[in-house]
Amino acid sequence: MAYIDPTHRARLAIGGEQAARRVVDVLTEVFFEGQAAVAAFERPDSCWDVTVHFADPPDQALVRQIVINAAGAEAATGLTFDTVEPRDWVWASLQDLVPVPAGRFVVHGRHDRDRIAGNKLGVEIEAALAFGTGHHATTRGCLLLLDHILKAWRPRRVLDLGTGTGVLAIAAAKALREKILASDIDPVSVQVTRENALLNASGHLVRSIRATGFSARQFATAAPFDLVLANILANPLRQMATPMARHLAPSALVILSGLLTPQASSVIAAYRVRGLVPLRHLRIDGWSTLLLRKLN
């Protein structure tokens, strides 16, 4: 459990959904790996409440500037900072988040466990000090493309690179009933993925390891991969194009996300010169998710 003493909080109300989404997206990009939990909820008056719980006292000037850049100076005038009682702050920030459907998959919290339809594959993700609850557009894009390709194909060797909370690894394990390798540079994410895999009765299928890129020895024995899921960021994805290609089987598929739509063309170019061609490009709320195939 993520008990932090004290809990530091920033709150503001924003008058429109698009502005709220911009603020949430930028905050999610800046604060990650357990630094903050960001949540936004629509009020009956159509305004949006954005709340950020921080593990440590935030740089208030930085947070204010992020809001100004994303939503304008007027939105930042309502930004407040305070300290609340010790509690499981990440859990509290996620309680009102609704289940996220993505094809046959539904990402949900414990409070919605009994609401998942029998013909869906539920992925239960509890609050933790790791990035990725399934509510971000990039995670949904990855799950939609995963669902799409698994309708006609069954990969045997699957890697979830930069696993976060293990959403994608657990989804793949549940759909395929095959062993999945999940890696992350953050040791907290590695532990959280293990715990979430156990929670989803997939602990025997998901192997979570700490690794930077493809440097760990486990990749050499697990490769070549038939499918790689990498929901990271544009720059690391471009930098890993060469080692990624080296660890792929012929005709392997790769799902890439964590990139803003304007960044997609440069990521596609980096992988095209390594022999991977784009098959599909999903755009959700300004974020892109790519499906690529290795030619040989």
- What pLDDT, on the 0 to 100 scale, is given for residue 18? 81
- Give the rounded percent of residues in the chain with a pLDDT score beyond 90: 49
Architecture of domain 100-294: 3-Layer(aba) Sandwich (3.40)
- What pLDDT, on the 0 to 100 scale, is given for residue 286? 81
Domain positions in the chain: 3-94, 100-294
**What CATH code is assigned to 3-94?**
3.30.70.1710
Give 281's pLDDT tier (boundaries 50, 70, 90): very high
Q: CA 228 to CA 158: how far, in whole Å? A: 6
- What pLDDT, on the 0 to 100 scale, is given for residue 3? 38
This prediction has a pTM of 0.70
Query: How would you class 88 by CB atoms within 10 Å of its CB: exposed for 0-12, middle for 13-18, buried for 19 or more?
Result: middle
Average pLDDT, the chain: 85
Give mean pLDDT, residues 152-163: 95
- What pLDDT, on the 0 to 100 scale, is given for residue 86? 54
User: Does 100-294 match 3-94 at the fold level?
Assistant: no
pLDDT tens digits for 32-73? 645 777 777 766 677 888 888 787 888 999 999 999 988 889
- What pLDDT, on the 0 to 100 scale, is given for residue 34? 58
Give mean pLDDT, residues 150-158: 95
Q: CA 179 to CA 90: how far, in whole Å? A: 29
Between 176 and 16, the more confident residue is 176
Q: CA 37 to CA 52: how far, in whole Å? A: 6
